[in-house]
Amino acid sequence: MGAIKLTNIAKEHEVAGAKRLRVLEDISFEAVAGSFTSILGPSGCGKSTILNLIARLDRQSSGEISTTGDRIGFVFQQPRLLNWRTVADNVTLPLEQQNLDKTALRALAMKYLELVGLGGYENYYPLQLSGGMQQRVAIARALAIDPDILLMDEPFSGLDEITSRKLRQELLQIWKQTGKTILFVTHSIAESVFLSQQILIVSAKPARIFKRLTIDLPYPREYGDLRLFEIETQLTRDFLGMDAGKMGP
């Protein structure tokens, strides 16, 4: 199982005129193996940059990142499916360099499609599916490599609220079944509270962690739970305080 540790991470981008834009500033946190952590912050604050650094898709300017486990899965905001490949072939795409025979690949595709509730859709093509179903395929594809860590970058933000609510519940079921370490990026307070054991609140650029919140409520969680609503209300106040410069670590 995978764990994540970031220590004093900073990230700068070069911009026009040889200037540098500071995106991340002194980001430090840990996500223990098997945990569900959300990074919560306004759009464009650098949350996705943190995931890209952990996935080694980009490199930090300073600081250290350590992970345990060999494999990292990534679910993006858009499903990024290949429309000319069937659902099953999209799921097995990351595995095609592993010299598995077609029967084994098919079995893996069926296993993870069943896990995300898409058994029977293996021969469909992406354009024949709804947006929510396409995102389930993307989740199945990320799980097919049997990752130790699953990074999720606002995967439900483009969906309607009813579909998003259902997928959040299904994601928690998958998490409980698989025991993966999940790091989930969102700008939705309600989403982060419903899903997470730990929430890291980050500011606008340069992003800093202004607050860490542990949510001790048991799973399964239910929409309409007043305890969740109370936490959402407090986090909303925290965001207003952050904008006013009043928020502490």
Q: How confident is the model at residue 17 (pLDDT cuts 50, 70, 90)?
A: low
Contact 60, 77 (CB under 8 A): no
Query: Looking at the structure, do residues 91 and 187 belong to the same domain, yes or no?
Result: no
Residues 124 and 198 in one domain: no
pLDDT at 249: 42
Is residue 22 assigned to a domain?
no
Largest Cα separation within the chain, whole Å, is 59
* Model pLDDT for residues 197-220, shown as the tens digit of each residue: 999 999 877 889 989 999 999 999
What are the tokens at 35?
Answer: 């945990």
Q: What is the pLDDT of residues 160-179, one digit of tens each?
A: 999 999 999 999 999 999 99
Task: List the domain range (segments joined by +) for residue 134.
Answer: 81-146
User: 140 and 155 share a domain?
Assistant: no
pTM above 0.75, yes or no: yes
Neighbouring CB atoms inside 10 A of 118's CB total 23
93 membership: H or E segment, kind and range: none
User: 200: how many CB neighbours lie within 10 A of its CB?
Assistant: 25
Residues 197 and 225 in one domain: yes
Poorest-confidence range of 45-49, 176-180, 182-186? 45-49
Question: Is the confidence at residue 83, as pLDDT, over 50?
Answer: yes
Strand runs labelled E in the chain: 4-14, 20-31, 36-40, 62-67, 72-75, 149-153, 181-186, 198-202, 209-214
Q: How confident is the model at residue 248 (pLDDT cuts 50, 70, 90)?
A: very low
